[in-house]
Structure 1
Amino acid sequence: MSRHAGREPRRLTRWWRRRSLRARLTVIAATAIAVSVFVAFQVASELLDRELKDTAENQLRADARVLATNAKRAGLAEVRLPPYPGSGRLVRVILPDGSIRTPAGQPALPPVSEDAGRVAQGASADLMESNDSDEDGYVIHTLRAGDGAVQVARVVDDSPINQFGFGMLLIGLLCVVGGALVGRTVARTGLAPIDRLTAAAVRVARTRDLDADIPDEGGGEIRRLIRSINDMLAALRESRLAQRLLAEDAAHELKTPLTSLRLNVELLIRLDRRGTLDSALPAESRTRLLNDLGAQVAELSTLVAELTDLARGDVSDESTEVLDLADVVGAAATRAGSRVPDIEVALDVTSVWVSGRPAALERAVLNLIDNAGKWSPADQPVQVRLRAEGASAVLEVDDAGPGIDAADVPRVFDRFYRADSARALPGSGLGLSIVQRVVDAHGGRATVARSARGGALLRVDLPAAAPPADVPRRPAGEDTAVR
């Protein structure tokens, strides 16, 4: 039984959720008006009933005082009783012996109650009582008069209340119908911006046109919603533009190494088909060509990996954790030394804790070291320094190379940008762009300046974090060299 009883509210909830917002507003408006009319009817009926009852009782008291005055002058047995008018007031005299007198032709009143009898015997001065036991209810006022009492009564008339209730019912029905119409009109008018917003969203989804901003109209929540959607469209436009630029730049950067690789492979295939590979390419030339092919394949692999990493943006399954940036810098320096044995990295690191993604931060540090390694002379190490500075972790990577021209500084972190002096060096122009993206994702800042050794000084500032309580501190100023 209780299981079935619990299903009904859930069904009602599901039904309500399936209704449109316009239908909900219409039902809410009609229900609110119906409840308001019902409450107003109850309050008005109570007030009207009380007012009519007070008026009738006051009239009964006044009529009883007049009849009692006449009875005292003429005597209860001799007082002249007014004839019954056919409706309205009824009178009765209670004699000292308990008998009663009533006008001729008047309907019989209910028997004298015990309380009314005690009034006639002098126990109290008056009594107001109601009698609803008969088909017609009566309000009877008993007043002491001489050695007996007089009674004045009226039939309880509910017709004014009933007529008032019927009128309120008609008014309530009209109000409910009118409320439903008004609610529907208000809903239609109020939701018109939502309808236009929906139509615009459908049009954007159908045409894929992200340049069509939705007109900013309405106020309050509607305006905020429209502005939020316009901001979302602007973000989608920027994302699509960045995607297109990335594809165009990637196609441009891949074209040259692919062309060179294809020409070299075609040369080997053509010579092999002619059977002149050994005669046309001596061992030394063949070794050099194969080395070039290996270098081009490695360059393509690096470029594709960087493109993939860059295209992923900030989307990563790697979780954020509180880590010691000195460990990340050390791991990146070790990787740089294994990838390019000629690079010597001099580390001057201090334990600084940050909140971030370890692999992304290591990739950014590795790119900084790789970039510096391309410019540093063979006898000059790449210096990597890490320290705490205020509320920031400061990482500096400098080299002893020629430095960066002032004209190239604003574009150092742009995608695929390579200075004129760097075009003969290996690389794709994506390394520092990836550094910029990782630093931005961690709430930091990347800058470039000239180092004291005359080369480039790349600096990264990241927000520092409190170290875990159970982790021992690293000695300050730990110097190591990685080759």
Structure 2
Amino acid sequence: MIAATAIAVSVFVAFQVASELLGWELEDTAENQLRADSRVLATTAERAGLARVQLPPYPGSGRLVRVILPDGSTRTPAGQPALPPVSEHAGRVAQGASADLMESKDSDEDGYRIYTLRAGDGAVQVARVVDDSPINRFGLGMLLIGLLCMVGGALVGRTVARTGLAPIDRLTAAAVRVAHTRDLDADIPDEGGGEIRRLIQSINDMLAALRDSRRAQRLLAEDAAHELKTPLTSLRLNVELLIRLDRRGTLDSALPAESRTRLLNDLGAQVGELSTLAAELTDLARGDVSDESTEVLDLADVVVAAATRARSRVPDIEVALDVTSVWVSGRPAALERAVLNLIDNAGKWSPADQPVQVRLRAEGASAVLEVDDAGPGIDAADVPRVFDRFYRADSARALPGSGLGLSIVQRVVDAHGGRATVARSARGGALLRVGLPAAAPPAPTARLTAGGDTAVR
């Protein structure tokens, strides 16, 4: 419909312009012909005299002639249709007031184009019937052509629209099918061109991302179930033992106070381990989704806060800080959690008399954080999988933890556009290195001190 309407408007405008141009051209041609015929008749009339000049018989169509005598009377060829009366302006031409005159006159039936030219003591007139038939025929032809173009444009537009929208229809059907079946494995065929192809490719990329997300969720659920199985089994067995002994009334005799205290401590440790694992699973499952806003912050403040939390959680951990002020753009809580996990991981391996060393410095356009311990280090075979979820080296099986701490570090660092690596420290232990893009510090703000002076913060 849009194509047909556009063609109709185009044909109408073209018809109007062409009709005007054709009318002007025909009128100009007719006037030139009238002038030429008038000059020939005037020359003949001047030689023979207006009263005696031989007027050719009227041929039945075409031009009409008339001679205006000095007394105002007129002569016309025999059999010629009567022309409109001589106008006042034409009479003045015959009287010598002006040389010529082009005018249009209407009679009862026809319209005339009349040219009056001074000749001798009078004037001659040559006229032609105004014929609109060429323009009418032209208009009829344009109308027929316009109708054919409208029909053809509508058919072509419909064909082009259906052909162009066919990939969209198939894309819609495929999207509906995916929504109903929840099958993310079927890619939509890449067809069409231009914007449609880019749209299909974008949707296929979205489906691939959804497949990866579903696969990651499934792996996380499977890994979580596997990791939860051992502590839950141990916790259930210990609780069942206590319940069974309590029902028999032999709890005090079967379990001495020392054994009962050790069992209750084990239960508390297992519950704590489950709580930590659940919190880490929740944090990991959320991925990059967070309500925390990004801000420009001093990473040194984050490192100091994380070290303080680590000391409060495990008083036996000694943390040696060597930090300088480096500004980054990030989420404070997520970065603090990552730094805390690094310190906790190093604290598990570092001997009691060796502190965990935490260093922060600016290195080029990056903020570099290093955490190293004096433990046994990481085997070369374990280095590629250090940041994998739930991965724990054989030497770490007996230590507390879920294997999620460094995975969370990796996710936070990736979300901030950084890079986490592992190497061997100078003390022989593990050196975990995090590089984050540095940011320009915020502009200083002025504040009033207690004495009324202005200080820069």
TM-score, length of structure 1 as denominator length: 0.89
CA displacement 1:396-451 (0-9 Å, x = unmatched): 00001000000000000000000000000000000000000000000000000001
Secondary structure of 1:397's counterpart equals: strand
Separation (CA, whole Å) in 2 of partners of 1:114 and 1:88: 25
Separation (CA, whole Å) in 2 of partners of 1:446 and 1:481: 39
Match of 1:233 in 2: 207
- The offset of 1:229, in angstroms, is 1.4
Decide whether aligned partners of structure 1 residues 282 and 380 sit closer, same or farther in structure 2, where only a CA change above 3 A counts.
Answer: same
- The offset of 1:117, in angstroms, is 2.9
- The offset of 1:83, in angstroms, is 3.7
- The offset of 1:177, in angstroms, is 1.1
CA displacement 1:261-304 (0-9 Å, x = unmatched): 11111111111111111111121111111111111011000000
CA displacement 1:108-148 (0-9 Å, x = unmatched): 43333343233223344322222358663221111111111
Answer whether contact 1:350 1:478 (CA < 8 A) is retained: no
Decide whether aligned partners of structure 1 residues 328 and 349 sit closer, same or farther in structure 2, where only a CA change above 3 A counts.
Answer: same
- The offset of 1:463, in angstroms, is 0.3
Answer whether contact 1:351 1:475 (CA < 8 A) is retained: no
Aligned-residue Cα RMSD (Å) equals 4.4
Q: Alignment partner for residue 61 of structure 2, among 87, 90, 96? A: 87
Answer whether contact 2:62 2:129 (CA < 8 A) is retained: yes
- The offset of 1:482, in angstroms, is 29
Decide whether aligned partners of structure 1 residues 381 and 57 sit closer, same or farther in structure 2, where only a CA change above 3 A counts.
Answer: same
Decide whether aligned partners of structure 1 residues 159 and 433 sit closer, same or farther in structure 2, where only a CA change above 3 A counts.
Answer: same
Q: Alignment partner for residue 429 of structure 1, among 394, 403, 407? A: 403
Answer whether contact 2:84 2:106 (CA < 8 A) is retained: no
Answer whether contact 1:345 1:481 (CA < 8 A) is retained: no
Matched, 1:394 2:368: yes
Separation (CA, whole Å) in 1 of partners of 2:193 and 2:314: 61
CA displacement 1:178-215 (0-9 Å, x = unmatched): 10000000111122222222222222222222221222
Unpaired runs of 5+ residues, structure 1, are 1-26
1:371-386 matched pairs, under 5 angstroms: 371-386=345-360
Answer whether contact 2:317 2:356 (CA < 8 A) is retained: yes
Answer whether contact 1:346 1:480 (CA < 8 A) is retained: no
Secondary structure of 1:86's counterpart equals: coil
CA displacement 1:339-391 (0-9 Å, x = unmatched): 11111111111110100001100100000000000001111111111111110
Decide whether aligned partners of structure 1 residues 343 and 475 sit closer, same or farther in structure 2, where only a CA change above 3 A counts.
Answer: farther
Decide whether aligned partners of structure 1 residues 42 and 481 sit closer, same or farther in structure 2, where only a CA change above 3 A counts.
Answer: closer
CA displacement 1:74-112 (0-9 Å, x = unmatched): 211222333444443222212223332334554443333
Q: After the TM superposition, which of the residue ranges 162-171 and 307-316 deviates more from structure 2?
A: 162-171
Decide whether aligned partners of structure 1 residues 480 and 110 sit closer, same or farther in structure 2, where only a CA change above 3 A counts.
Answer: closer
Answer whether contact 2:447 2:455 (CA < 8 A) is retained: no
- The offset of 1:477, in angstroms, is 31
Separation (CA, whole Å) in 1 of partners of 2:374 and 2:58: 128
Answer whether contact 1:347 1:479 (CA < 8 A) is retained: no
Separation (CA, whole Å) in 2 of partners of 1:224 and 1:482: 52
Separation (CA, whole Å) in 2 of partners of 1:463 and 1:408: 27
Separation (CA, whole Å) in 2 of partners of 1:420 and 1:96: 135
Secondary structure of 1:193's counterpart equals: helix
Q: After the TM superposition, which of the residue ranges 396-405 and 129-138 deviates more from structure 2?
A: 129-138
Answer whether contact 1:138 1:153 (CA < 8 A) is retained: yes
Q: Alignment partner for residue 297 of structure 2, among 305, 320, 323? A: 323
Unpaired runs of 5+ residues, structure 2, are none
CA displacement 1:59-82 (0-9 Å, x = unmatched): 222321232122112211222333
Q: After the TM superposition, which of the residue ranges 139-148 and 38-47 deviates more from structure 2?
A: 38-47
Match of 1:32 in 2: 6
Separation (CA, whole Å) in 2 of partners of 1:406 and 1:321: 37
Aligned residues: 457
Separation (CA, whole Å) in 1 of partners of 2:47 and 2:88: 26
Decide whether aligned partners of structure 1 residues 473 and 354 sit closer, same or farther in structure 2, where only a CA change above 3 A counts.
Answer: farther
Secondary structure of 1:191's counterpart equals: helix
Answer whether contact 2:449 2:455 (CA < 8 A) is retained: no
CA displacement 1:211-233 (0-9 Å, x = unmatched): 21222222222222221111111
Decide whether aligned partners of structure 1 residues 370 and 406 sit closer, same or farther in structure 2, where only a CA change above 3 A counts.
Answer: same
1:42-121 matched pairs, under 5 angstroms: 42-121=16-95
Separation (CA, whole Å) in 2 of partners of 1:474 and 1:359: 30
Answer whether contact 1:350 1:474 (CA < 8 A) is retained: no
Q: After the TM superposition, which of the residue ranges 447-456 and 79-88 deviates more from structure 2?
A: 79-88
Answer whether contact 2:42 2:119 (CA < 8 A) is retained: yes
Identity across the alignment (%):
93
Secondary structure of 2:83's counterpart equals: coil
Answer whether contact 1:345 1:482 (CA < 8 A) is retained: no
Decide whether aligned partners of structure 1 residues 482 and 40 sit closer, same or farther in structure 2, where only a CA change above 3 A counts.
Answer: closer
Match of 2:264 in 1: 290
Decide whether aligned partners of structure 1 residues 103 and 480 sit closer, same or farther in structure 2, where only a CA change above 3 A counts.
Answer: closer
Separation (CA, whole Å) in 1 of partners of 2:413 and 2:451: 24
Answer whether contact 2:448 2:454 (CA < 8 A) is retained: no
Matched, 1:155 2:166: no
Separation (CA, whole Å) in 1 of partners of 2:246 and 2:114: 132
Answer whether contact 2:419 2:436 (CA < 8 A) is retained: yes
Separation (CA, whole Å) in 2 of partners of 1:124 and 1:92: 18
Answer whether contact 2:446 2:454 (CA < 8 A) is retained: no
Separation (CA, whole Å) in 2 of partners of 1:367 and 1:190: 55
Secondary structure of 2:448's counterpart equals: coil
Answer whether contact 2:445 2:456 (CA < 8 A) is retained: no
Secondary structure of 2:127's counterpart equals: strand
Answer whether contact 1:347 1:482 (CA < 8 A) is retained: no
Separation (CA, whole Å) in 2 of partners of 1:474 and 1:216: 64
Answer whether contact 1:346 1:479 (CA < 8 A) is retained: no
Separation (CA, whole Å) in 1 of partners of 2:382 and 2:13: 78
Q: State the structure with bigger RCO (CA 8 A, min sep 6), 1 or 2.
A: 1
Separation (CA, whole Å) in 1 of partners of 2:107 and 2:230: 111
